[in-house]
Amino acid sequence: MLKDNLHKVQTQIAEALARRTEIKLTGDGATLVAVTKNHPVDVVLEALELGIANIGENRVQEAKEKRAVVPDRGSWHLIGHLQTNKAKQAVALFDLIESADSEHLLAALDKAAAQQGKVQDVLLQINIAREQQKTGFLPEDYTAILPQLDTYQNLRVRGLMVIAPLCENIEDTRPVFKEGYRCFCQLQAQRPGIELLSMGMTHDFTVAVEEGANIVRVGTALFGKRDYTKK
């Protein structure tokens, strides 16, 4: 089933790329991050065997348990909210932390990375839709912290992450992704090394790709519905 689902998602990504009406500064491809939250480690192993190189997890503890079984395979992305008291563990586990959503967290990640002798790749999470239940910098606020980023010797900001509201009509997500791409272009013009724009999940990744995403975070479309009885 996963093999068939993967082919379908890859086809949808390719078709979305073909529908772009302009050249994007994010390039002409999109990396698939397979979100294995609330799925067993067997799913991670199967995904890796099928050539999926990027694994996404929402929680530090779940990633820690899975990485104990799959220690040195794949590139691991943290895509869920991270509490600062778990920064040390997150730096040890993840190749890319997509959900850097506050100055306080950035400082904690920089400190943890320095202690571990690592330069940690991060994305700044931007709350384009201003949803109160979601974390992230507001678009008008995050630019104010950019000078501060130069003081973090052990962080490498690679771009932005955006989560759109859950909309019944996926076209309603398009303005959010358009604004996400605009913010990316603005940031790229201001800082070196900005190349990643993570936008789109199972329900809206095709629109996100059309609007410039070069990372999409897909779980349900690959693995089916999650079992939320598991903690």
Q: Note the pLDDT of residue 145.
A: 87
Question: Helix H segments across 58-157?
Answer: 60-69, 87-93, 103-115, 139-142, 146-149
- The DSSP bridge partners found for residue 34 are 55, 218
- Residue 159, sorted as left (phi over 0), alpha (psi -120 to 50) or beta, turns out to be left
Determine the Cα–Cα distance for residues 51 and 41; give it in Å rounded to an integer: 16
Angle between helix 60-69 and 41-49 (nearest 10): 60
| 151-to-101, 154, 171 alpha-carbon distances in Å | 17, 9, 39
Cα distance between residue 54 and residue 33, in whole Å: 5
127, 136 Cβ separation under 8 angstroms: yes
- Report the C-alpha gap between 198 and 136 in whole angstroms: 14
> 126 near 144, Cβ under 8 Å?
no
- Tokens (6 digits) for 50: 């099928």
Calpha distance 220→20 (Å, rounded): 25
Low-confidence ranges of the chain (pLDDT < 50): 231
> What is the distance between the alpha carbons of residues 142 and 155, in angstroms, rounded to a whole number?
16
